[in-house]
Amino acid sequence: MGNQQSKIREINKVTLVGIFVNLFLSGIKISAGLLGNSSALFADGLHSLSDFSTDIAAYLGARFGDKPPDDYHNYGYGKYESLATLIIALFLGFVALQIFIDGFRTILSILRGDILAIPSWWAFFAALASILLNEGLFRYTLAVGKKINSDSILANAWHHRSDGWTSIGALMGVGGAILLGGQWVMLDPVAAIIVSLLVLKVAVHIFIPAIRELMDFTLHNNELEKIYSTIDRYEEILDYHKLRSRKAGGKIVLEFHIVLDGDLSLKKSHDIADALEKELRELLGKSAIITIHIEPPL
Ligand SMILES: [Zn+2]
Ligand SMILES: [Zn+2]
């Protein structure tokens, strides 16, 4: 039986369940936030929407970004995923900032003596539903992750639990505002500000790798060190230069010149470059694009 096949099916299933629960929760919380006068719930709903959109980008990226190269995209489709992720990050960052600023404005107006509408019980129950669903999702995802022994699924499980904690923060804000009333209505925007900071953190976290992939950033130093020491292990390589690296839409692109003894046969020189390329590909991943130029000493 295809063990790998059934593992992939389990991963797809648990990922899709997570995606749908987040879509459902973001719908409930954003509408409860808007209709029930709770900026905390609105911010929490935005958080679920951000989880939903990053999951979708990852899911589509895995399907679409791996599309084989064609006549119009000789280097593949990887940058489409980076671009989609970047747009999501900018959208999230923008809305989170908006909630953050609104939260402070609301608090100031309450301090100035304005009377604000108390959040409705609907917002409270939406937060409660979010806590319970996230906890359920956490336990289900954790069980699947343990069963098929997948680190990314286990990481997803703990993300669901942290989402539950975010909703507990929103619940305390809304609950405190409803039960205590008066100036305590302030608890709701305070919770909204805290949640907006969490969303902002997510936005920065997904923005950085996406921008690195789009703007041809050089590889990290520790990756470069590994490349250098691999090349150094070849005694026949007298020297190397013009080494350039970048990350292009999730793929690693690497090119450099190697100096070989000028009297080596073309076949021998090519064998050396070939062996090195193969070893580097093992290090950098199957999709890496590696170009090695061979030359004699000056
Ligand atoms: Zn989350
Ligand atoms: Zn050269």
Q: What is the pLDDT of residue 2?
A: 58
Query: Could you tell me the residue ranges of all domains in the chain?
Result: 3-214, 221-295
Smallest-distance ligand from the CA of 293: 2
55 Cα–ligand 1 center, Å: 10
Written as one letter, the residue type at 253 is V
137 Cα–ligand 1 center, Å: 12
Q: What is the pLDDT of residue 28?
A: 95
Note if the pTM is more than 0.95. Answer: no
136 Cα–ligand 1 center, Å: 15
218 Cα–ligand 1 center, Å: 30
**39/22 Cα distance (integer angstroms):** 18
| Percent residues over pLDDT 70 in the chain | 97
Q: How far is CA 298 from CA 50, 225, 239, in A?
A: 56, 26, 11
Q: What is the pLDDT of residues 81-105, one digit of tens each?
A: 788 778 878 888 888 898 899 889 9
Q: What would be the CATH architecture of the domain defined by 3-214?
A: Up-down Bundle (1.20)
**61/64 Cα distance (integer angstroms):** 5
C-alpha of 27 from chain center: 21
91 Cα–ligand 1 center, Å: 16
205 Cα–ligand 1 center, Å: 12
Element (H, E) at 286: none
160 Cα–ligand 2 center, Å: 52
Q: What is the pLDDT of residues 195-228, one digit of tens each?
A: 889 888 888 888 888 898 889 899 999 999 999 9
Return the CATH superfamily for domain 221-295.
Answer: Cation efflux protein, cytoplasmic domain (3.30.70.1350)
Establish whether domains 3-214 and 221-295 are of one fold.
no
246 Cα–ligand 1 center, Å: 30
Within 13 A of 171's CA, how many CA atoms are on the CB side?
A: 14
291 Cα–ligand 2 center, Å: 13
Residue with tokens 């929103």: 170
